[in-house]
Structure 1
Amino acid sequence: MSLTFLTGGARSGKSALAVRRAQGSGLPVVFVATGQARDEEMTDRIARHQAERPEGWETVEAPVALVDAVRGLPADRCVVVDCLSLWVSNLMEHGDDEATTVSRALALGRWAAAYPGSVIVVTNEVGLGIVPMHPVSRDYRDRLGRVNAILSRHAHRAQLVVAGRTLTLDPLEER
């Protein structure tokens, strides 16, 4: 019963770290993918990620209905969710408003914290740069930031991955 939250920039090593940790868990692994192969570049990215995974792992594709997909998983598995960034993008494209996205994230966080196995969640940190010019980009940045904060609060371990290294994140002090 543990949730590990991995965040960081693109190509920082988050997914590879999640794969290594899942391999080392000693549990059967379920990889929950949120990405969709809608163009050649994304098809190539997905293929590279698939090649990094050991044979025998179960894969569940859940681009939108992530919470429903994980709720149906058997107990005592190591579940890798990769990634929240694409999930939030898919939810926005699906037409979810911010309140619905936050509600889904809260449900995912509660599930992950209570799951009788191990959960590793991968996401991108997109809020460290400049304020985006376009309202949709700002909305995405803000929603993903809120979703990340929700999952991080439910995690027993949260780490920032930068250049293949990790920095463990302490919880915010409650006042």
Structure 2
Amino acid sequence: MGRIILVTGGARSGKSAIAEARALSLAPRAIYIATAEPRDAEMTARIAAHQARRGGNWRTHAEPLDLTGALAATDGQGPRLVDCLTLWLTNLMLGGYDWQAAGRALVAALPAQADPVIFVTNEVGAGIVPDNVLAREFRDAAGTLNQWVAAVADEVTLAVAGLPLKVK
């Protein structure tokens, strides 16, 4: 069974760079499962910056919705880095999909993974209570999804100011 690793933290905490370094510590090449979609110029620029920073040791597999399928399709090909769970959750919620069923299916599939899987996710519960229903539903869903993945993870790291803090 491959290791399951969760890297969480706030916005711009360094979690992606920490997760990328962790993946490449496991093998010289890794698969980057990207959940972001370039829906506007700003997100397109963010995606390009992430790709440029990663360099040539990565093969990108874009999958905004079927994360469980993406893991099945890439298992046996080396470590996978999923960046990020919260964007995946956003895609599911805004698309009207059952995020709980998708999250449960993802967690159920993790023990069968032969290669390591590293998840990046945002820690969204440390701020103020959002002022609208959708934002509160998202915050609650992200917290729940993060707990589900953390429960089955072998390692959990909290990124703070670019520093990895081992939680589990």
- Check whether TM > 0.5: yes
Deviation at 1:103, TM superposition (A): 2.1
Amino acid at match of 2:148: I
The one-letter code matched in structure 2 to 1:11 is R
**Match runs of 1:152-163 below 5 Å:** 152-163=150-161
Q: Deviations over 1:112-163 (max 9, x none)?
A: 3331111100000111111101000000001111111111111000111110
Task: Return the TM-score normalized by structure 2.
Answer: 0.93
Residue in structure 2 matched with residue 48 of structure 1 by the alignment? 49
Query: Equivalent of 1:106, from 101, 104, 129?
Result: 104
Letter in 2 for 1:63: P
> Please, which runs of 5 or more residues in structure 1 have no aligned partner?
171-175
The letter for the 1-side match of 2:24 is: Q
> 2:13 & 2:112 partners in 1: Cα distance?
28
Distance 1:20 1:86 in 2: 21
- Confirm or deny: 8 A CA contact 1:30 1:79 kept in the other structure: yes
Distance 2:108 2:167 in 1: 20
Partner residue of 1:146? Answer: 144
Aligned partners of 1:22 and 1:80 also within 8 Å: yes
CA contact (8 A) 2:18 2:164 kept: no
TM norm structure 1: 0.90
Q: How far apart, in 2, do the equivalents of 1:127 and 1:3 lie? A: 22
The worse-fitting range, judged by mean Cα deviation, of 79-88 and 69-78 is: 69-78
- 8 Å contact from structure 1 (residues 8, 123) kept in 2: yes
Describe the SS at the equivalent of 2:131. Answer: coil
Corresponding residue of 1:38: 39
CA deviation string 1:87-131 (max 9, x = no partner): 1110011102xxx31221122223233311111000001111111
Q: Alignment RMSD, CA only?
A: 1.4
Q: Which one-letter code corresponds to 1:48 in the other structure?
A: A
Gaps of 5+ in 2: none
The residue identity in structure 2 corresponding to 1:161 is A
Q: Which residue of 2 aligns with 1:85?
A: 86
Q: Which residue number in structure 1 is paired with residue 63 of structure 2?
A: 62
Task: Report if aligned partners of 1:102, 1:146 keep a CA contact under 8 Å in 2.
Answer: no
Of 148-157 and 102-111, the range deviating more from structure 2: 102-111
In structure 2, the partner of 1:26 is 27
Q: Deviations over 1:73-97 (max 9, x none)?
A: 231510000001111110011102x
Q: 2:116 aligns with which of 107, 115, 118?
A: 118
1:135 is matched with 133
Identical-residue share of aligned pairs (%): 41
